[in-house]
Amino acid sequence: MTYKRTARFLASGLLLGLLSMPAAQAAGYINGSVSVIGGFDCGGCLATGNDFVVSRLMLLEAANPAIAAAGSGSFAGLGGSPVVPVRAIELVNPPAQPGQFEVDGFTITIQGVRDVARRPFVCSGGVCQDSLRALLWGEVAGIGYRRTGLVGIWTGQGSCLGRGGVCTSEPSASWSASFSATRIVEPAGPGLLGLGLFVLALLPRRRVRQAAVTTAAWG
């Protein structure tokens, strides 16, 4: 096989592979969003005499009971499915290890948090309430899907009967979260495109150079 035929074959293969790659990859990405609601398992935070319920937490236990409330796209039909906690979510960035939980075949991994907002106790009419809100990011995996990015908002609410900013009854707490899948950019595509175009660009130059050599020989 001559140089020109080899180069043309290589360039064509690269470009054809590049053109077919996005369709094949996009078909496997997770899409849509899912909402989750649940209770708390935060150890000593649910105790009489505390001056907070959720606002000072540094560790979020995706706990019992927790269910998927609604879903769209790849998550459609998850409503009512149990959420199984694997690892708690640390409210530091970066965490020592990612938080993680599973819901009906999907594994959601929280790799970082930002914009943590803590609202301390506000007591009125004998009831004290506080809250905690954070933006989360990470990825979601599922059988038959490609690894996909994930962003979300997590919110916790705590309350108790209280007086003087201190709980006089056993507190209660709940949490909710909403996650949306985001496409992860694959770096290989632009690289292959550049390589294919580079090889194609060499072909005309090779042809002109050979023509010049031939003319010189006849001259």
125 or 191: which carries more pLDDT confidence?
125
pLDDT band of residue 126 (cuts 50, 70, 90) is very high
Return the DSSP state at 118. E
b/e sequence 117-131, b meaning 16+ C-beta within 10 Å = ebeebebeeeebbbb
Mean pLDDT across 191-215: 45
Peptide bond connecting 190 to the previous residue in cis, omega within 30 degrees of 0: no
User: Which pLDDT belongs to residue 136?
Assistant: 96
Provide the token pair at 186. Answer: 């694959």
Q: How far apart are CA 151 and CA 133, in angstroms?
A: 14
Percent of the chain with pLDDT over 90: 51
Q: Are 65 and 39 in contact (CB under 8 A)?
A: yes
Q: Position of tokens 């294919």?
A: 196
